[in-house]
Chain A
Amino acid sequence: GAVVSQHPSRVICKSGTSVKIECRSLDFQATTMFWYRQFPKQSLMLMATSNEGSKATYEQGVEKDKFLINHASLTLSTLTVTSAHPEDSSFYICSATRTGGYYGTGELFFGEGSRLTVL
C-alpha cells in the first residue's frame, strides 16, 4: 500500500522557537497533501490543504503566518510552526491523496504523526 512518512515523530522545543515537520509520500506522487491537528481522543481537525507548486489553502481560524506550509515537490510538504507557544503543543498529522487512479474514492494515506511539545 501507499506509504506516507512524517518526520520527526516527536519534537520538544522551547517557547518562541520554530519547528519544521516534514511529510513525504514514499511510493507515489501527491499533488495534494493535508495537514491536521489532533487533540487527545478527538477526531482530526483539518488545518490546511497543501498544493504542490502553489500556496496552501487554510481552514477558517488557522493562522497562515503561524503555520507555514510549503509543498515544493510532488513528494514533500512541510509544516513550520513559527514562534511556537505551549498552546501549539499537539499531535500533527499529514495525509496525501494519490494523483490519478480511480477518481472519486477519496482515500487518504496518513503519516505516522508528529507529537509537538512546546515548553
Chain B
Amino acid sequence: TQLLEQSPQFLSIQEGENLTVYCNSSSVFSSLQWYRQEPGEGPVLLVTVVTGGEVKKLKRLTFQFGDARKDSSLHITAAQPGDTGLYLCAGAPHFGGNTGKLIFGQGTTLQVKP
C-alpha cells in the first residue's frame, strides 16, 4: 500500500513568516497534486507536478517535486491570513494505470495570525 506522509499536520504562525510543508513516500508517483481546502468547502487544486525535480511557483507559493518523484514540498513565503486553510498533497500511483485514484497525505492545517 502506498502512503504519503505529510508534515507538519498543524502549523500556527504569524503573518509574514515563511513555512514549508512536506510530503514523503517510499513509492514513486506519476504526478503529485497540491490542494487547498477551506472549512465547509471542497478542496481546490493549486498545482500539479509531473517531472522529477520540477519546481512551480504560484505567487508566494513554491512547489517542488523530488528528483525521484517520491516526495514534494510546498513553501509559502511571507504568509498572510488568507493562506489559512487545510493543505493536502495527493499522489497518482506510478503503477496501476490512470484510474484517477489518488493517495492523499494526512493534511496540514495552517493558521496564519494577523
Contact = CB atoms under 8 A, between A and B. Distances in A.
Interface of A: 1, 4, 6, 32, 34, 41-44, 46, 49, 91, 93, 95, 97, 103-113, 115
B106 to A, nearest CB: 5
- Taking residues whose C-beta sits less than 8 angstroms from the other chain, chain B's interface range is 20 to 34
18 contacts: A1-B45, A6-B42, A32-B100, A34-B100, A34-B101, A41-B10, A42-B106, A42-B107, A43-B104, A49-B101, A105-B92, A106-B91, A106-B98, A107-B31, A107-B45, A108-B100, A108-B102, A109-B45
Given A104-B30, A106-B98, A108-B90, A44 B43 contact: yes
Contacts of A103: 98
A115 B40 contact: yes
Nearest to B86: A41
Contacts of B44: 110
Interface in B14-55: 30-31, 33, 35, 40-45, 48, 50
A110 B10 CA distance: 23
A105 B49 CA distance: 8
Contact of B100 (A42, A97, A110, A115): A97
A107 B88 CA distance: 13
Contact of B102 (A41, A106, A111): A106
Contacts of A108: 33, 45, 90, 100, 102
A40 to B, nearest CB: 9
B98 A113 contact: no
A46 B88 CA distance: 14
